[in-house]
Amino acid sequence: MRTTVLIVAAGSGSRLKAGVPKALAPLADGRTLLEHCLESVAAAQAAGVLELNAVAVVLPADPEAAAALEQVCRAAGDRAGFTVRCVPGGAERADSVRAGLAAVRALADAEPAAGADTDAEPGAEPGADDPDTPHAVLVHDAARPFVPVAVFQAVATALGKGAAAVVPAVPVVDTIKTVTGAAPGPEWVSGTLDRAGLRAVQTPQGFDLTALEAAHRRAGSEVPAGAAALTDDAMAMEAAGHPVELVPGDPLGFKITTRLDLMLANALLAPAAAALSPQEQHP
Ligand code: C5P
């Protein structure tokens, strides 16, 4: 299925304290988080698991950071041979996704898939550039630099089989408590969730583009102050009543939020980590 990847990279990274927007934070190899993220998309395309139409990247408002990241996008697109369109983001992640979806729609409508039969006979099956042909969008965090090709593949395969919403997920290892009270006052445990029924979800999350656009419109009008509450895109689809399919995520799909995450990412780039067998890298 024709697919546009939407990378949200407009976060400030205040918890990372890198002194630059998070997507611009360099890893130990000197390459930024966004560069690594784009490289994982390029790897998925090269492996043939994505029928990639283009990549849309949502950038921070800060002009200096945006210019530097645009340069990263251009270079990655040239290397991998895909179109990258950059747009400015919003205050919350959901605002950035909505801004990005407008760019994805324009890219989807403008560009037939590679190999689409533009000379199709009248009355033939609809081609990939037919407006009624389903188009997929994979919404992905720039803050996840190491997502393996297998995760892109699992998401794309489930979409290809007709799912409208697909999220990669991993088991939860901690015991999760619900609480009452709020910091700085004391908090009290009000209950314990059954860990067996919990999953931590990652990105890329895959959707039917038209369904996700409608779900975000609905979530935007029904939850006026709710952009901050919408921490992933599957939530908008859940609220609109769509079933959301889980596929296996991967520990390497972790999100970089804190300095500790950055240290882990840098450790994974070190030669000793590269020498680990896949089994050792996936405990
Ligand atoms: O901060 P959080 O962990 O939710 O960020 C996840 C992803 O969303 C990051 O890649 C970040 O750049 C992006 N984001 C965004 N616009 C925002 C906030 C976060 O594009 N306003």
> pLDDT digits over 207-228, tens only?
999 999 999 999 887 765 577 8
CA 71 to chain centre: 20
Assess whether the C-beta atom of 100 lies below 6 angstroms from ligand 1. Answer: no
241: left (phi over 0), alpha (psi -120 to 50) or beta: left
**Pair 2, 51: CB distance under 8 Å:** yes
Task: Return the percent helix, strand and coil in the chain, to nearest 5.
Answer: 40, 20, 40
CB-based contacts of 121: which residues, under 8 Å, 6+ apart? none
Yes or no: domain 2-113+128-281 corresponds to CATH 3.90.550.10 = yes
Report the alpha-carbon distance of residue 138 to residue 53 in Å, rounded.
11
Distance 93 CA to ligand 1 centre (A): 5
Residue-wise pLDDT for 143-178, tens only, equals 999 999 999 999 999 999 999 999 999 999 999 999
**Position 277 confidence tier, pLDDT thresholds 50, 70, 90:** low
Assess whether the C-beta atom of 2 lies below 6 angstroms from ligand 1. Answer: no
Distance 111 CA to ligand 1 centre (A): 27
**Position 201 confidence tier, pLDDT thresholds 50, 70, 90:** very high
Distance 223 CA to ligand 1 centre (A): 19
Assess whether the C-beta atom of 245 lies below 6 angstroms from ligand 1. Answer: no
Q: Is the pTM of this model over 0.85?
A: yes
Assess whether the C-beta atom of 77 lies below 6 angstroms from ligand 1. Answer: no
**Position 203 confidence tier, pLDDT thresholds 50, 70, 90:** very high
Assess whether the C-beta atom of 90 lies below 6 angstroms from ligand 1. Answer: yes
Residue-wise pLDDT for 96-151, tens only, equals 999 999 999 999 999 664 444 545 455 444 444 566 689 999 999 999 999 999 99
Distance 249 CA to ligand 1 centre (A): 19
Residue-wise pLDDT for 49-102, tens only, equals 999 999 999 999 999 999 999 999 999 999 999 999 999 999 999 999 999 999
For ligand 1, atom 21: residue with the closest CA: 92
**Position 275 confidence tier, pLDDT thresholds 50, 70, 90:** low
Report the alpha-carbon distance of residue 135 to residue 242 in Å, rounded.
17
